[in-house]
């Protein structure tokens, strides 16, 4: 891998299969990196020799996107998600944990053995399993600084013994038929991350052994993301039982609970093995029913109660890539009608009447955008799906692409036909490999069935669809930057107007809509615009998909009618915060949005209402925070994210966010200067009005909204206190007399700050302590306490050390 | 043809015209550093912000297309504040001295580094010009001065300061001998108080890096005239001059950033980061010098090398705050910037790209003249700084300049040498 020499033949082969035009640069770089794990300079030079790509072009592009590496990497990549949900659940501690355990110095990313390279990644979209680490392609959830090393060691050990086969694409094995029992198992990233593939294999084994008359069907996300892997058993009569957090070992018992073995011999065999099973494991049936969920279960009915499923229609019961099933459930009905009627004006009227607005965050009326592109002069035209969902804490678009690819593509085809576009591009962010795979597969299937491609269904309508993978740049969610990226350039936005509707991709009039927007289209046309408009508020119609995560009992993917209040979402759907914790605020709209504090939680989900309280709809990430979360730390987190993701083009965003960050970083270590709060507010104003694109104009929002609602916390930090005891500069660890002397803390401590003293109260050497929290996690009796650091000590720490 | 008003004056211009272009037609100069007539706008520096009173929004004048009914205000308190904010941000990330410390403390305000460059380039006439510009008189400018210059010399912080007084005496003597000083010339021109970006106190380690950047870093130890009465010989003067670290800015008189700093009353240290990047001079190129810490990331040079199809050219490396302008694959800048060197230097709004010395500059001027005659100039008018009229908040008219016609300096070097003319 990392040591593999570069070969001209490899690079030439990559160029041959990818293309020689400048827009091939990102796919070429991606493939070179796949080959070598990094981008050897000699390979890039070879690309320049054999293509139209210039040295300055390839150097600029390859250093813009964070996925590309310019130095060798370890054999395996350990991507630590630092999305919002992971952040609030301790992602930074997880990174520290890996580095401390594997002896990686703070300023480096690869261990001495060259086994692993740590990368911070911006949200892999498995927020309900936070904190999440992706080791190569596999996602591991619920890790802590104490457990992450174990996960890595297990992974490395497995690599030595096991040859990994290609990941199952989840191709449909058999179509569902009425009257036949089904076992549905989730195939979204969250489910796969929590082991649904292994569960599926166990289920298949169990079914084969029992010869039960049942089909195992991989299905899309059911929304219960933090209960995954989720197995739903539907018997021949349609009775459904759900099992949450299923372990592969439990598959056998689930099957036996519902299905009788075929034939006497089978029954006897089953009887013997189940006796053996219950003898060997005294838990018997208990684990199977432990997580049994039922719609009559109050938690489930509460979670599902206020939801309305438009984008996620037939959630959790369809195979994502089973086109026959999709058609059976009215799929492509809308597209076929649109093509048959060939009346684009009528389609636009319907979309306008439905009140659908862009779901990517801005909320521009979709019908009006379609009108503009339809009216724009120029041919050909293009349609682009914006699947670059980058807000940390948001994973709606990932799930929609993974689970409803046909629905999205149907919307795209209708949009393309309406505006007169013949070229389609799906731009999907690099962190979503499964979404990419499913969308590509769906395009292929639809093309085979003549639902895409040339002369679609004999109507003369052409639409060629290409899938483009992003390469790690949040700013590419901005439409002009996204277009630049498709064109093989650095993802730097340009000033609008001209809008893409007039002059977009390669100067073609271009329709860009978000994944969710496209996914709404077919429902609206099938059910009529009035049905859609009947949901929601005066100006915000229909439903909105949110990813609910953070400090709630039940997180997951939810779809709610517009107008529902934030409090309803948190308390009813999310089940409120954990026992003993109080709800503090919810961050909505990701880093561009703002926080909504408890006292404003009755704000409805409505574009204008959210703006009014200083937040925004955004793409739909909802991260709930409780009283243990520090709002200054949150604001710092979001600002740091935006500053990292700034493309660097315009001064206010490039330098302004950096200077704001300087102030915030001083604040959380107790080194603030006089007038810093006022300065933050003043700078925010100039950055908001003076930045080129949406990233810069919204970057100060989290700071502004937290200053507005949690000014007392800022003032506490200035005074040298962190009320939530989160900011490490203001806290220290101590062990109280509850200590039973079990030595676990000392064993867990990576810096030897705790001496092993069996049966005696332990002590922490503060000079060595790095506040990694591992002792706290290891302690069985809660004897490790976090206390405020004396102000004199806070002041004494030099700025550099404090940071 | 959209109709709009700019500062209350109506104008009707064709569709697709930019606000900055429409304003220029009215003789109103909207400041800009990243926009160059003839290139697509890049919308980077953002000091061109103007307000559209029709919708209350601030827009970048260089990129905004004219729209029917726009009411553009190019200069109001709000606009000025926004520009000042933007400039102060740029200065928070701008490391360099407008004037060298020796120059600043010299009572006669002699541009000492420029004088020294003339000496080491064998252009003693040029060196005398620098003296004349500052002191004017026939008298030795150091006469009656106790020597404030040498304690200011940065090299003195590492080892011994440059023998500035001996060098000035040497140049003055040469001028006297050639009768270059005219008795009728007034002594000392009035000093103009200008904005001065200063590196300030050097931090630990920075001074060594500075010395490493000197023209001849290995030449340690001060050289004294072998004959104290006659003073330096030409060889000695050149050798001592090679010790100079050239802390000055080569484009102090043509730098747009400095002009705008003067105009908007910018405070250099409004934002004080805890860390700053170190000042560095990349002198791999025979003719041009690159000082990355002076770059404001306007991308003009990148666009010029691309447009004129340099084989390597310049490119962006990285993104966000850490983005830099550099050559692809770490190539030497001399191989990356060949035919476009003069265009890049002229277009660069700061001294990130400048001529290495007076020779290079003169060579470029000749070359530029030839290109202009051949009618092959690709790059349009350079941006020229503007000033406010005294009675109204109205900027002076801007005439597009031809390449080479840039704000001619008194020394004949196009004003880029930093000699103060």
Radius of gyration of chain A (CA): 27
Non-local (6+) Cβ contacts of B308 within 8 A are B339, B340, B343, B378
- Among A208-222, A773-787, B114-128, B297-311, where is mean pLDDT lowest? A208-222
What is the per-residue pLDDT for A271?
Answer: 44
Those of residues 347-386 in B touching chain A at CB distance below 8 A are: none
The pLDDT of residue A254: 78
Q: What is the mean pLDDT of chain A?
A: 86
Q: Which residue has the higher pLDDT, A525 or B379?
A: A525
* pLDDT score at B376: 36
For residue A673, the model assigns a pLDDT of 86
pLDDT computed for residue A179 by the predictor:
54
> Residue A691 has what pLDDT?
96
pLDDT at position A757 over 80: yes
Q: Which candidate, A51, A38, A163, A165, places its Cα nearest to that of A110?
A: A38
Q: Which tens digit of pLDDT belongs to each residue from A584-626?
A: 999 998 888 999 999 999 999 999 999 999 888 887 889 899 9
Q: Do B321 and A799 touch (CB under 8 A)?
A: no
Owner of token pair 């250099």? B268
Q: State the residue for tokens 């689970």.
A: A403
For every residue of A708-759, DSSP letters joined together read HH-HHHHHHHHTT--TTS--GGGEEEEE-TT-----HHHHH-TT--B---TT
Cα diameter, chain A: 84
Distance CA A104, CA A89 (A): 22
Confidence of residue A223 (pLDDT cuts 50, 70, 90): confident
How near does any CA of chain B get to the CA of A597, in Å? 29
Nearest residue in A to B58, CA atom: A689
B315 touches chain A (CB under 8 A): yes
Count Cβ–Cβ pairs < 8 Å, chain A vs chain B.
Answer: 132
Selecting from A56, A494, A654 the residue whose C-beta is nearest the C-beta of B320 gives A654
Contact call for residues B253 and B418 (beta carbons, < 8 A): yes
pLDDT above 90: residue A678: yes
Q: Give the A-side interface with B, CB within 8 Å.
A: 41, 44-45, 54-60, 63-64, 473, 490, 494-495, 497-498, 643-652, 654-659, 662, 666, 683, 686, 689-692, 799-800
Among A644, A662, A666, select the one facing B320 at the smallest CB separation.
A644
Whether B85 and A690 lie within 8 Å, measured CB to CB: yes
A279 pLDDT tier (thresholds 50, 70, 90): very low
pTM for this structure?
0.87
Per-residue pLDDT at A437:
92
How far apart, in whole angstroms, are the C-alpha atoms of residue A719 and residue A492? Answer: 40
Q: Which residues of A722-759 are buried (b: 16+ CB within 10 A; e: fewer)?
A: bbbbbbbbbbbbebeeebeebbbbbebbbeebbeeeee
Query: Which residue, among A29, A63, A70, would best test binding to B if mutated, counting the most B CBs under 10 Å from its CB?
Result: A63
Residue A457 has pLDDT above 90, yes or no: yes
Contacting residues of B for A646, CB less than 8 Å apart: 319-321
B329: which chain A residues are within 8 Å (Cβ-Cβ)?
41, 44-45, 55, 59
Q: How confident is the model at residue B391 (pLDDT cuts 50, 70, 90)?
A: very low
Q: Using pLDDT thresholds of 50, 70 and 90, give the confidence band for residue B136.
A: low
Longest dimension (CA), chain B: 76
Can you tell me whether residue A624 is helix, strand or coil?
Answer: strand
Q: What is the pLDDT of residue A268?
A: 46
Nearest to A310 by CA among A94, A144, A559, A492: A559
Before A490, cis peptide (omega within 30)?
no
φ, ψ dihedrals at A278, nearest 5°: -75, -25
Question: B406-412 contacts: CB < 8 A, separation 24 or more?
Answer: B406/B254, B406/B346, B406/B382, B407/B253, B407/B254, B409/B253, B410/B129, B410/B133, B411/B126, B411/B129, B411/B130, B411/B133, B412/B362
Chain A residues with beta carbon closer than 8 angstroms to that of B64: 495
Place of tokens 């520090």: A630
Q: How much is the pLDDT for A792? A: 80
Residues of B with CB below 8 A from A662's CB? 271, 273-274
Which tokens in the block code for residue B318? 């990285």
- Residue B374, pLDDT above cutoff 50: no
Please list every residue in chain A whose beta carbon sits closer than 8 Å to the beta carbon of residue B306.
54, 56
On whether the CB atoms of residues A504 and A383 are closer than 8 A, the answer is: no
**pLDDT grade, residue A554 (50/70/90)?**
confident
Task: Name the pLDDT band for B308 (thresholds 50, 70, 90).
Answer: confident
The pLDDT value recorded for residue B379 is 37
User: CA-nearest residue of chain B to A492?
Assistant: B319
Q: Which of A419, A441, A407, A428 is nearest to A545 (CA)?
A: A407
Strand partners, A560: A544
B5: tokens are 């008003």
Mind listing the pLDDT tens digit for each residue in B220-270? 788 899 998 899 999 999 999 988 888 899 998 889 999 999 999 999 989
Res B367: pLDDT: 65
Residues of B in contact with A655 (CB under 8 A): 89-90, 92-93, 321
Percent of chain A's residues with pLDDT above 70: 91
Q: Find the mean pLDDT for residues A455-464.
A: 96
**B302–A contact, CB cutoff 8 A:** yes
Percent of chain A with pLDDT over 90: 54
CA B78 vs CA A564, B63, B264, B385: distances in Å: 40, 19, 12, 21
Distance CA A560, CA A604 (A): 11
A297-338: pLDDT as tens digits: 566 677 777 888 899 888 888 889 999 999 999 999 999 999
From B388's Cα to the closest Cα of chain A, the distance in A is 23
Assign residue B73 a region (left: φ > 0; alpha: ψ between -120 and 50; beta: otherwise).
beta
Higher pLDDT, A464 or B134: A464
Residue B326, pLDDT above cutoff 90: yes
What is the rounded CA–CA span in Å between residue B221 and residue B307? Answer: 47
Read off the pLDDT of each residue in A216-224 and give the average, rounded to a whole number.
78
Q: B residues 61-80 near A, CB within 8 Å? A: 63-65
Q: How far is B365 from chain A (nearest CA, A)?
A: 27
Cross-chain CB nearest to B328 (options A55, A495, A692) = A55
Q: What is the pLDDT of residue B281?
A: 82
Strand A214-219, strand A181-186: pairing = parallel
Q: Report H helices in A281-383.
A: 286-290, 298-304, 323-328, 333-341, 344-354, 366-375
């Amino acid at each position: 891998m990392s040591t593999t020499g570069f070969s001209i033949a490899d690079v030439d082969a990559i160029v041959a299969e990818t293309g020689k035009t400048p827009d091939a640069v990102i796919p070429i770089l991606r493939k070179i990196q796949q080959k070598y794990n990094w981008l050897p300079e000699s390979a890039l030079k070879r690309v320049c020799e054999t293509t139209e790509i210039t040295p300055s072009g390839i150097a600029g592009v390859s250093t813009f996107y964070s996925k590309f590496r310019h130095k060798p990497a370890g054999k395996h990549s350990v991507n630590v998600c630092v999305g919002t949900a992971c952040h609030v659940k301790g992602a930074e501690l997880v990174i520290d944990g890996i580095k401390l355990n594997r002896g990686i110095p703070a300023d480096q990313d690869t261990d001495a053995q060259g086994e692993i390279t740590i990368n911070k990644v911006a949200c892999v979209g498995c927020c309900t399993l936070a904190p999440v680490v992706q080791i190569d392609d596999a996602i591991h959830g619920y890790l802590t600084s104490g457990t992450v090393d174990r996960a890595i060691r297990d992974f490395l050990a497995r690599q030595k013994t096991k040859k990994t086969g290609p990941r199952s694409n989840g191709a449909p094995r058999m179509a569902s038929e009425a009257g036949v029992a089904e076992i549905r198992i989730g195939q979204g990233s969250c489910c796969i991350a929590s082991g649904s593939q292994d569960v599926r294999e166990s289920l298949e084994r169990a079914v084969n052994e029992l010869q039960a008359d049942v089909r195992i069907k991989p299905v899309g996300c059911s929304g219960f993301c933090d209960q995954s892997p989720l197995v739903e058993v539907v018997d021949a009569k349609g009775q459904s039982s759900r099992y949450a957090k299923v372990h592969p070992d439990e598959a056998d018992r689930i099957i036996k609970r519902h299905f009788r073995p075929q034939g006497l011999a089978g029954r006897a065999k089953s009887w013997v093995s189940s006796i053996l099973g219950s003898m060997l494991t005294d838990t018997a049936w208990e684990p199977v029913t432990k997580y049994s969920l039922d719609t009559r279960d109050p938690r489930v009915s509460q979670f599902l109660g206020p939801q309305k499923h438009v984008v996620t229609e037939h959630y959790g019961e369809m195979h994502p890539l089973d086109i026959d099933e999709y058609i059976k459930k009215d799929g492509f009905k809308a597209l076929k009608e649109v093509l048959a009627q060939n009346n684009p004006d009528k389609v636009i009227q319907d979309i306008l009447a439905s009140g659908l607005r862009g779901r990517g965050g801005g909320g521009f009326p979709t019908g009006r955008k379609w009108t503009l592109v339809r009216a724009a002069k120029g041919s050909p035209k293009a349609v682009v799906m914006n699947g670059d969902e980058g807000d940390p804490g948001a994973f709606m678009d990932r799930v929609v692409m993974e689970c409803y690819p046909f629905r999205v593509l149907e919307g795209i085809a209708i949009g393309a036909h309406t505006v007169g576009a013949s070229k389609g591009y799906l731009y999907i962010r690099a962190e979503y490999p499964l979404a990419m795979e499913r969308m590509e597969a769906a395009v292929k299937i639809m093309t085979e069935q003549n639902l895409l491609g040339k002369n679609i269904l004999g109507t003369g309508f052409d639409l060629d669809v290409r899938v483009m993978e992003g390469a790690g740049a949040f700013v590419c969610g901005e439409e002009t930057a996204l277009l630049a990226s498709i064109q093989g350039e650095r993802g730097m936005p340009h000033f609008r107007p001209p809008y893409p509707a007039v002059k977009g991709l390669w100067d073609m009039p271009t329709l860009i809509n978000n994944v969710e927007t496209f996914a709404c289209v077919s429902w609206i046309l099938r059910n009529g615009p009035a049905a859609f408009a009947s949901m929601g508020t005066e100006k915000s119609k229909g439903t909105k998909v949110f990813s609910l995560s953070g400090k709630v009992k039940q997180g997951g993917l939810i779809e709610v009618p517009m107008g529902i209040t934030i409090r309803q979402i948190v308390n009813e759907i999310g089940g409120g915060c954990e026992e003993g914790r109080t709800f503090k605020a919810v961050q909505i709209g990701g880093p561009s949005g703002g926080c909504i504090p408890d006292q404003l939680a009755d704000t409805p989900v409505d574009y204008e209402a959210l703006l009014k309280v200083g937040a925004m709809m955004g793409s739909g990430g909802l991260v709930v925070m409780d009283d243990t979360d520090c709002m200054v730390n949150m604001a710092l987190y979001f600002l740091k994210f935006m500053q990292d993701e700034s493309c660097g083009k315009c001064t206010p965003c490039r330098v302004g966010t950096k200077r704001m960050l300087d102030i915030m970083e001083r604040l959380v270590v107790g080194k603030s200067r006089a007038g810093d709060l006022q300065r933050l507010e003043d700078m925010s104003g100039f950055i908001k009005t003076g930045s080129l694109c949406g990233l810069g104009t919204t970057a100060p929002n989290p700071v502004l909204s937290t200053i507005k609602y949690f000014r007392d916390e800022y003032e506490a930090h200035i005074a040298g206190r962190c009320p939530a005891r989160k900011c490490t500069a203001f806290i220290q660890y101590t062990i109280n007399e509850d200590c039973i002397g079990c030595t676990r803390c000392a064993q867990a401590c990576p810096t030897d700050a705790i001496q092993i003293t069996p049966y005696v109260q332990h002590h922490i050497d503060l000079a060595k302590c790095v506040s990694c929290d591992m002792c706290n996690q290891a302690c069985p009796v809660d004897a490790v306490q976090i206390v405020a650091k004396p102000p004199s000590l806070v002041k004494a720490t030099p700025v550099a050390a404090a940071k | 043809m959209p109709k709009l008003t700019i500062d209350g004056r109506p104008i009707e211009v064709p569709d697709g015209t930019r606000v900055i272009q429409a304003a220029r037609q009215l003789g109103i100069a909207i400041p800009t550093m990243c926009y160059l007539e003839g290139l697509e706008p890049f919308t980077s520096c953002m000091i061109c912000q103007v307000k559209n009173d029709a919708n209350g929004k601030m827009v970048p004048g260089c990129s905004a297309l004219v729209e029917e009914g726009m009411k553009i205000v190019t200069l109001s308190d709000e606009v000025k504040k926004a520009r000042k904010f933007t400039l102060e941000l740029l200065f928070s990330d701008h490391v360099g001295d407008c004037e060298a410390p020796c120059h600043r403390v010299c009572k006669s305000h002699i541009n000492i580094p420029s004088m020294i460059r003339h000496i080491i380039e064998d252009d003693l006439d040029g060196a005398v010009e620098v003296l004349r510009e500052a002191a004017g008189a026939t008298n030795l400018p150091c006469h009656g001065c106790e020597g404030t210059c040498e304690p200011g010399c940065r090299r003195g912080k590492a080892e011994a300061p440059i023998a500035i007084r001996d060098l000035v005496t040497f140049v003055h003597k040469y001028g006297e001998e050639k009768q270059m000083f005219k008795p009728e010339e007034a002594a000392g021109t009035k000093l103009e108080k200008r904005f001065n970006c200063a590196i300030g106190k050097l931090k630990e380690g920075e001074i060594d890096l500075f010395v490493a950047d000197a023209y001849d870093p290995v030449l340690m130890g001060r050289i004294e005239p072998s004959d104290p009465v006659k003073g330096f010989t030409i060889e000695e003067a050149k050798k001592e001059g090679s010790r100079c670290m050239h802390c000055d800015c080569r484009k102090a008189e043509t730098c747009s950033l400095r002009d705008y700093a003067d105009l908007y009353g910018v405070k250099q240290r409004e934002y004080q980061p805890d860390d700053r990047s170190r000042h560095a001079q990349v002198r791999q190129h025979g003719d041009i010098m690159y000082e990355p810490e002076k770059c404001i990331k306007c991308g003009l040079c990148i666009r010029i090398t691309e447009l004129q199809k340099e084989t390597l050219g310049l490119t962006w490396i990285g993104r966000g705050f850490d983005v830099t302008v550099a050559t692809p694959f770490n190539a030497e800048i001399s191989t990356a910037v060949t035919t476009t060197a003069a265009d890049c230097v002229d277009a660069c709004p700061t001294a990130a790209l400048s001529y290495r010395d007076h020779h290079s500059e003169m060579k470029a001027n000749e070359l530029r003249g030839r290109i202009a005659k051949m009618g092959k100039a690709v790059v349009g008018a350079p941006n020229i700084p503007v000033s406010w009229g005294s009675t109204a908040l109205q900027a002076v008219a801007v005439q597009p300049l031809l390449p080479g016609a840039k704000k001619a300096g008194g020394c004949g070097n196009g004003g880029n040498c930093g000699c103060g003319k």
